[in-house]
Amino acid sequence: MEISQMLEEIEENLNVVNKGLLKAKDFNEDNYDNIKEIHEFVSSRDNFSPQETTMILDELKNLRN
């Protein structure tokens, strides 16, 4: 699965209001495994608290170029 598809699914699962917040061009391929791990975690759950959502998005921001 491509980074762009994983990021789109993460946005959907977290109900991110600002679609396009996570753009694949902002991430390096070196972070593929980290993004995949976050994607798998987000996909495994149905609901997230606001704090969890913030923590996940913060972690993704840290992986940006």
Q: Average pLDDT, whole number, for the chain?
A: 95
Q: How far apart are CA 33 and CA 15, in angstroms?
A: 23
Q: Give me the residues paired with residue 64 across strands.
A: 27
Task: Give the pLDDT of residue 20.
Answer: 80
Task: Give the pLDDT of residue 19.
Answer: 81
Whether pLDDT at 32 is above 90: yes
> 2-22: per-residue pLDDT in tens?
999 999 999 999 999 888 889
Give me the residue spans of the domains in the chain.
3-62
Average pLDDT over residues 42-58: 96
